[in-house]
Amino acid sequence: MSLLTIQDLTVEFPTRRQLFTAVDHASLSVEPGEIHGLVGESGAGKSTIGAAVMGLLERPGRIASGQIKLGGDQISGIDAEAMRELRGKKISMIFQDPLTSLNPLFTVREQLVETIQTHLGGSEAEANKRARDLIDRVGIPDPDTRLDQYPHQFSGGMRQRVVIALALCTEPDVIIADEPTTALDVSVQAQILDLIKELAQERQVGVILITHDMGVIADTTDRVTVMYAGKVVESGTTAQVMGQPQHEYTRSLIAAVPRPTLKLHRFPQISYGGRETRFAVEDMARHWPKVNNDASKQLFEIRNLTKKFLQKRGLLPWDRTYFTAVDDVSFDIRAGEVFGVVGESGSGKSTVARMIAGLYPVDGGSITFDGQLVSDLGNRAVQDEYRKNIQMIFQDPYSSLNPRMRVDEIVAEPIRHHRLMAGSDIRRRVDELLDQVGLGSGAGLKYPHEFSGGQRQRISIARALATQPRFLICDEPTSALDVSIQAQILNILKDLQEHLGLTMLFISHDLPVVRQMCDRVAVMKQGQIVETQDTSDLFLRPKTEYAQELLRLMPKLDDLSTDGLGVEEE
Amino acid sequence: MFAYIVRRMFQSVIVLLVVGLVAFSMFRFVGDPIDNMLGQERTQADIDRLRTELGLDQPFVLQYAKFLKGAAQGNFGVSYRQGRPVSTILLERAPATLELAFVSGFLAITMGIALGVFTAIRRQGMAANVIMTVSLIGVSLPTFLIGILLIYIFSVELDLLPSFGRGETVMIGKWSTGFLTTSGLKALILPAITLGLYQMTLIMRLVRSEMLEVLRADYVRFARARGLSDRVINFRHALKNTLVPVITITGLQLGSIIAFAIITETVFQWPGVGLLFINAIQFVDIPVMAAYLMLISVMFVTINLVVDLLYYAIDPRLRVDARAT
């Protein structure tokens, strides 16, 4: 008999106007010691299944039909107090963001002991011992000291280990892990997934791993269930679903995953359930100023760039301590190329981008753009011209657009600021841009919240292109987006580079994406560049140990089906 | 930490000096104290003599400097109206105001937090909605009107509580307290409610909205997912996090309870420093006004500093030694 069985589960959210069915007759089962992947794009209903199992559906959501059974006993529809008994004791949950899922005002010990005593009772000494064992088990060094620290004193990966320890507190039978590694770096992600695998084996816990990341699914899970719009479209062993997907949606989803081993000219679009929005880059190219990209010419020369941040304030200068975010970084960007910067969080890659964009003053070194020194922010004339030529696309399409401004105002702002046009010309230009990025000119009258994440990123692109720049800085442009939307946005960026002759600085922690996008890559670690290579060379013959390690930890995706990729091997 | 306190103290002194300067520049517009001090039979020579004697013929900056010099030595001058040292008068009056402020502050904080938590947890409930609606009255009605209403209902119509004064007081050393007599306690009820009602509703609404925010946080969801009881989640995990931002506002509110006791004290003829200040304004009693204003600003600045230090005590993330490893 299965550990956890979900049969024909339907979850509905009644709203004022209509009934929204978040999960539609979904079934799956988990065996002891098995990791069951639940994959799909945002809005597919995978987290709702997790919440339904935990009995933590947000109001007014309700289970409309179907059953959830734990070891043969029905747990859907039981009363709240009985459900609370089960939570934590029989079923635990791991959340996505380890930074916010621990209470900041209590020590790790307090939170562990409290949970242990709630479910197992027992003396404080016993609970303390158990807490120490758990912290030790999840691989946190020096458990005695660490137990009495507060969550903010732990790094992201260590915090997720604490969260796992909390979830394991009372020997649950089932753990629901909702995107447990999405907020973590590649190397940390690999460690956490290994830990979950080990623990599932060791304790014969059934794990439902909810994720949108096909790499995580392929590397970690035993079985997988694919969801689309609330429905289960395909279910089976991981090898089978990933290797020979049967359903059309699964096939297009797998095809859209960037591969570290294959370089594709363009990403295949997810064709299921919707059409690609047109992006008229050729129209744009017609009015674009001709750029003469002499590939031998360096567009950017960056020399000995350094940035220090004040870490500890002090009354006296010698009391202050500084953190060197960027340490003596030098590189060149050739005209017309896409230059990638990869590294883990805190490696200083975004700081480099912000210094190039002139958002942070440089503390040392120089930036030269097209033969002109631009790192001196005091020189207004040079700065104005330079800033017109560089534009930036940010990671989070939700916070990088002002929610109180209409979309046409957002796109027009750079034009107005640089006084490139006046009056009705501006409106015509904005309408044209919005049309060209595939939103239609009517989009200008709406506000950012009326658009989806992918559409918002298109608005960001339209805004960045408004001044007809020569250089784009893309800071993790797709890491907040679903795989299918990511494919669209990356294709757009590729088109821009190809047709408009744009040069790009592409910052990402996602190695497969970098592989697809970049001509050359710099690998950053703790504020320094450890290696700069042509992309294909880096992936085939990494020179430094650190780059080798990063590549080793990257999900391999070798087992994924290569249907519909139009493979173009190197 | 030490550097932080030193810097804050330095800022505080500057704030105090500026407040004093502004106050002294305003006094000229309040009126001429000489008018009230000399009787009908005055001559121009009397007026000039007294003006020179009091130093009122000098520019206000010089008057201010003289005041500061005295204040630094603990001498706040002599009241024009009562002819006694200002410090003695303030000390006499202070217990009445402080007792009133303490009681109403205590009421405002305990009731405000309790009701705020209640309305946040039972957000959909009937009782919570009634409390929220009633609290609008507390926010929107001016203090003096609430005072008059309370007097009308409880003193005039029901004849339960006194409408003015402090009742009987007992002297403990130099401190006159109304806590020890029945009439003193009865006299305290209406003014305390009047003074604390606004603060209470404000704290309540603040606690409620913060708490609703905190209850949506991931760590509360995770606490629920671990099967902790609602009581532990609401009163241990959520409440402590709620209090972090609430402390600032509450601290400043306590300051204003003392500062704005003026209106309540006037309505109830409460013999505190607020009433003293009102009388001083009518008489253009510059030494009393100056001392009162400085006292209030010292209090605000101190409360502010204490609030900022409390932040450190409650929130471990702000402690300097704590760095992520």
Domains annotated on chain A, with CATH: 4-255 (3.40.50.300), 336-359+393-553 (3.40.50.300)
Helices (H) and strands (E) in chain A, counts: 20, 20
Question: DSSP secondary-structure letter at A58?
Answer: P
A305 vs A398, which has greater pLDDT? A305
Closest CB from A85, A104, A114 relative to B232: A114
Q: Considering only CB atoms, which chain B residues are within 8 Å of A315?
A: 2-3, 6-7
Checking if the pLDDT of A286 tops 80, the result is no
CA A566 – CA A543 distance, rounded (Å): 30
**pLDDT category, A35, cuts 50, 70, 90?**
very high
Residue A273: the pLDDT is: 59
3-state secondary structure A305-333: EEEEEEEECCCCHHHCEEEEEEEEEEEEE
Q: Considering only CB atoms, which chain B residues are within 8 Å of A85?
A: 227
Closest CB from A92, A97, A104 relative to B226: A92
With an 8 Å Cβ cutoff, is A56 touching chain B? Answer: yes
ipTM of the prediction greater than 0.90, yes or no: no
Q: Where are the alpha helices (DSSP H) in A179-247?
A: 186-203, 214-220, 238-243
Closest CA in chain B for residue A157: B325
What sign for the dihedral angle of Cα B308, B313, B317, B322? Answer: positive
Question: A166, B222: Cβ pair inside 8 Å?
Answer: yes
Q: Considering only CB atoms, which chain B residues are within 8 Å of A103?
A: 219, 223, 237, 241
Q: Which domains does chain B have, with CATH numbers?
A: 86-318 (1.10.3720.10)
Checking if the pLDDT of A249 tops 70, the result is yes
Residue A568: the pLDDT is: 44
Q: What is the pLDDT along chain B (325 residues), one digit of tens a residue?
A: 677 788 888 888 898 889 888 888 877 777 777 777 777 777 888 888 888 877 777 888 888 888 888 888 878 888 888 888 888 888 888 888 888 888 998 999 999 999 999 999 888 888 888 988 888 887 888 888 888 998 899 988 898 888 888 888 788 877 888 788 888 888 888 999 888 888 899 899 999 999 999 998 889 989 988 888 888 898 889 998 898 888 878 887 888 888 778 888 888 888 888 888 888 888 888 888 888 888 888 888 888 888 888 877 777 777 654 333 3
Closest CB from B219, B221, B227 relative to A89: B227
Residue B114's H or E segment, with its range, is: helix B86-121
Residue B321: the pLDDT is: 46
Quote the tokens at residue A294.
């002499």
A375 vs B33, which has greater pLDDT? A375
Closest CB from B218, B227, B325 relative to A88: B227
In this structure, the number of other CB atoms found within 10 A of the CB of residue A309 comes to: 12
With an 8 Å Cβ cutoff, is A153 touching chain B? Answer: yes
Q: Considering only CB atoms, which chain A residues are within 8 Å of B226?
A: 87-88, 92, 115, 118, 166-167, 169
Q: Considering only CB atoms, which chain B residues are within 8 Å of A84?
A: 227, 229
Question: B225, A92: Cβ pair inside 8 Å?
Answer: yes
- The percentage of residues in chain A with a pLDDT greater than 90, rounded to a whole number, is 27
Question: B237, A103: Cβ pair inside 8 Å?
Answer: yes
Checking if the pLDDT of A271 tops 70, the result is no
Reading across the β-sheet that carries A390-393, which strands appear in turn?
A: A390-393, A471-475, A503-508, A338-342, A520-525, A528-534
Checking if the pLDDT of A472 tops 90, the result is yes
Residue A352: the pLDDT is: 92
Contact B164, B268 (CB under 8 A): yes
Q: Which of A368-372, A486-490, B99-103, B321-325 has the lowest mean pLDDT?
A: B321-325
- In 3-state terms, chain B is what percent helix, strand and coil (to 5)? 75, 0, 20
Checking if the pLDDT of A114 tops 70, the result is yes
A265 vs A234, which has greater pLDDT? A234
Coil, strand or helix at B8:
helix
Residue A565: the pLDDT is: 64
Residue A314: the pLDDT is: 63
> For all residues of chain A together, what is the average pLDDT?
86
* Residue among A24, A25, A22 nearest A7 (CA): A25
Residue A274: the pLDDT is: 57
Quote the tokens at residue B258.
């003392």
Q: Considering only CB atoms, which chain B residues are within 8 Å of A311?
A: 323
Chain A nearest CA to B227, separation (Å) = 5
**pLDDT category, A290, cuts 50, 70, 90?**
confident
Strand duo A35-39 + A223-228: pairing:
parallel
Residue A38: the pLDDT is: 92
Question: B226, A167: Cβ pair inside 8 Å?
Answer: yes
Checking if the pLDDT of A269 tops 90, the result is no
